[in-house]
Amino acid sequence: MKKYPVAKPFITNEDRESVLGVLKTDYLSLGPKLGEFERKFAKKLGAKFACAVSSGTAGLHLALIAAGIGEGDEVVTTPFTFVASANTIVSVGAKPVFADIDPETYNINPKQLEKKITKFTKAIMVVHIFGQPCDMGSIMAIAKKNRLIVIEDACESLNAAYRGKKAGTFGQAGVFAFYPNKQMTTGEGGMIITNNKKTYNACASLRNQGRDENDRWLEHKYFGYNYRLDEMSAALGISQLKKLDFMINERRKIARWYSGFLKSYADIVQSPKIAASSTHTWFVYVVKIKDKRIGRNRLIVNLERKGICTRPYLPSVHLSPFYKSRFGYRAGDFPVSEAVSASSLALPLFIGLTKSDCQYIVNKLIKEINNL
């Protein structure tokens, strides 16, 4: 029986040699590879500055601090996201205020977002979900009208674009993540991009325990964190960045195969929808089971028995125990997000899948749905 993991990284000999090369130097942290990775990443995304950090979560945390978000502030965001998005808002003492999502793209719905703005709202944290940018034209107009800061969680949408402009380059800061299931990886790791030098300087200091670039050894001007990215990870990032376009094109090819095979089953499964304004870079390929009577979790178990690993993407954050107890969120608060959470799953997506693999996975998916 063939086995298909839900994701795996694409690592080449060049990647391995890049990491091993660092081990032959005297620099394992805060060395030349860090700066090289930042410069090349900024150029790739069309940003003035890039600040490498230990994770996407760390990047969001620092971006919020640099924006001055704190106690008593509200940040409007989506409930349909990985929990780190909301957690970083809580970590700076602010309140995450959720707005429901678009039923086709699964990104935050600008009309719902605007309804959530109060006198306490200081920022919007958009999450470009699954590899597709949000409706940034509408969102930036709302932010400008209400004088709100925009921070972009682009951790899942590296190199995706809205009307030709890259995700992560619209707001005060954009944040990316390089976990092994992403479009490119550094193992762990993340990156903050910005066109604002003050924001960059703040993030660069805060990631290194608050040390200012002019401080002497062991002097730290600000309260900071250990959010540094090591040289081995930076070296891997440089190597991965060279083939990013290739890796994304491979993911797009796999997504087209899936969509082609699923087209005949549109009455059973909703395939991902791509907005006309967007380019998609496919962090995951998520399908939604249309029949509410079908047990999605049972389907996942049955597929795994057939060697096909899938995952529920994504649980709605507001229904996790912490957010229910801390902020009083309840089932029914965000019905679109909740409906998608209850009926969606990610199919295997990694470089190396063939067209016949995708057809096999789709056939098994449909068969198991029909058996439930």
- Domain map of the chain by residue range? 13-100+107-242, 244-371
Residue 307: its pLDDT value, please?
Answer: 97
CA–CA separation, 325 and 60 (whole Å): 23
Residue 189: its pLDDT value, please?
Answer: 98
Q: What's the CATH class of domain 13-100+107-242?
A: alpha beta
Residue 185: its pLDDT value, please?
Answer: 98
Residue 34: its pLDDT value, please?
Answer: 98
Residue 10: its pLDDT value, please?
Answer: 98
Residues in the chain with pLDDT < 50? none
Residue 217: its pLDDT value, please?
Answer: 74
pTM, rounded to two decimals: 0.96
Residue 1: its pLDDT value, please?
Answer: 82
Residue 222: its pLDDT value, please?
Answer: 86
Rg (CA), the chain: 21
| CATH superfamily entry for domain 244-371 | Aspartate Aminotransferase, domain 1 (3.90.1150.10)
What would the pLDDT profile of 249-260 be if each residue is shown by its tens digit? 999 999 999 999
- Residues 112, 106: contact at Cβ < 8 Å? no
Residue 220: its pLDDT value, please?
Answer: 81
Residue 252: its pLDDT value, please?
Answer: 98
